[in-house]
Structure 1
Amino acid sequence: MTEERDTGKIKIESDVVAMIAGLAATDTEGVASMSGGITEGWAKRVSGKNVAKGVRVEVGELETAIDLRVIIKYGAKIHEVAKNLQENVKEAVESMTGLRVVEVNVFVEGVEIHREEEEKSEEFVNRLK
């Protein structure tokens, strides 16, 4: 976002929008973590940019679109977490930047299983054998 004023220019970089979105996402109940994927991790190392893990944004003059890649906590209702995630990220980005968020796309890439649930899953699978 770039805004011209009598006193000067205001520009909000896409990395700032990504950071706000990432922080709002990780504060959402049911989100275990963000998922950066192999290519994002590699690109971050090569470019040296401080890109929020699991967040991709497109920022225009007045609007932004956001993609989130997340890991959900085991037992959480995925559809409810995703809806809350969209609302929380949209509210945070709009209130902090003044940009209009046109879409927040959520890609659930995994479920975090704690050791306790993992052992139950293994027991269940062993009983089926």
Structure 2
Amino acid sequence: MDKETDKSKNGCITDADGLGTVKIANDVVAMIAGLAAMEVDGVSAMSGNITDELMGKVGITNIVMKKQTKGVKVDILEGTVSVDLALTLEYGYNIRATCNKVQEKVKSALETMTGFEVSDVNIRIIGIKMQDNK
């Protein structure tokens, strides 16, 4: 089935046959981005901001979605996706090379799975995980 992104509505895909629309929630797009980022060697964890952490501590959270979307912010505007990621990387990996791989992986996953154009994948490194000494 050919898909055409409806540029007039955010997060909507209209099929070419005119059977209807499919709305993709921002959290779903964020989950895809988060899972793709975690598949890259050298990425240790997705990291949320202080507001997310505090909300989680007082129980304001959707546990399934939050675990996969922690550290991911997605904006969908006129069929174009912009992604911001906050990552913790593993010690010993080249930061620039790892981030380039994350950007490519996230862009590819989102474009393949949603049909949206990805304008940018911005990454903020918030920490380095040291290896455990055993």
- Determine which of 35, 40, 47 is the counterpart of 1:28: 40
Q: Distance in 2 between matches of 1:81 and 1:18?
A: 19
> What are the ranges of 5 or more consecutive residues in structure 1 without an aligned counterpart?
118-129
When normalised by structure 2's length, the TM-score is 0.79
What displacement does 1:8 show? 1.2
When normalised by structure 1's length, the TM-score is 0.82
Q: CA RMSD in A?
A: 1.8
Alignment of 1:101 with 2:123, yes or no, is no
Counting aligned pairs with the same residue, the percent is 38
- Determine which of 23, 26, 29 is the counterpart of 1:17: 29
Alignment of 1:2 with 2:12, yes or no, is yes
Aligned residues: 117
> What are the ranges of 5 or more consecutive residues in structure 2 without an aligned counterpart?
1-10
What per-residue deviation string (whole Å, max 9, x for no partner) do you get for residues 92-121 of structure 1?
Answer: 00100000000000000000002229xxxx
What per-residue deviation string (whole Å, max 9, x for no partner) do you get for residues 49-84 of structure 1?
Answer: 724111010012311100000000000000100111
SS in 2 for 1:116: coil
Counterpart residue type for residue 96 of structure 1: M
